[in-house]
Chain A
Amino acid sequence: MSWLTRLFARRRIYSDLSAEMRAHLEEKIDALVVSGMSREEATRAARREFGNVTLLEERGREVWQWPSLESFLADIRFAFRMLRKSPGFTAVAILTLALGIGANTALFSVVNGVLLNPLPFSNPDQLVTVDASKPNFPTGSISYPNFLDWHRINHCFSFFAVARPTGYLLTGMGQTEELDAAAITSDFFPLLGIHPVLGRSFAPAEDQIGPWNVVAISTDLWHRKFGSSPDVIGKSISLDGKGYIIVGVFPGNLDVPMRYFQGVDVYAPLGGFRNSNIDYRGAGLGIHGIARLRPGITIEQARADMQRVTDYMSQTYPDADKGMGATLTPLKERMVGRVRGFLLLLLGAVGFVLLIACVNIANLLLARGNARQREMAIRSALGAGTSRLIRQMLTESILLALLGGALGLAFAAAGTRAALAALPATLPRVNEVGIDARVLWFTVAVSLLAGFLFGLVPALRVARKKTCDALKEGSRSVAGTRHRTQHVLIAVQMALAVVLLAGAGLLIRSLAQLWKVNPGFDPHGVVEFNLALPPQMSTASPAAIRTAVRNFDAAMDAIPGVQGESLSWGAIPLYEEDDENFWIQGEPRPASESQMHDMLDYIVGPDYLKVMHIPLLAGRFFTENDDEKSKLVVVVDEVLAKKYFPNGDALGKVIDQGDATHTFPFEIVGIVGHVNQWGLDTDSRNSLRAQMYFPFLQMPDNVMSLVPSNTEVVVRSSGNMLGLIDSIRLASSRLSDDEAVTNFNTMHEIIESSLGSRRFAVMLLGSFAALALILAGIGLYGVISYAVGQRTHEMGIRIALGAHPRDVFRLVIGGGLRLALLGVVIGIAAALVLVRFLAAFSQLLYGVSQSDPLTIIAVAIVLLAVAFLACYIPARRAMKVDPMVALRYE
Chain B
Amino acid sequence: MTATASPLVDPKMPVGEPELPDILPPVKQRHGISGFAYRHPAIAVGGTMLLLLILMAIFAPLLGTTDPTALAPSKRTRAPSAEYWFGSDMMGRDIYSRVIYGARVSLIVGFAVAIVASIAGLVVGLTSGFVRWADSIIMRVMDGMMSIPPILLAVALMALTRGSVGNVIAAIAVAEFPRVTRLVRGVVLSLREQPYVEAAVAAGTRTPMIIIRHILPNTIAPLTVQATYICASAMITESILSFIGAGTPPIIPSWGNIMADGRALWQVKPFIVFFPAIFLSITVLAVNLLGDGLRDAVDPRMAKRL
- Whether A associates with B in a native complex is no
- B residues lining the A interface (CB < 8 Å): none
The interface of chain A, by Cβ under 8 A from chain B, is none
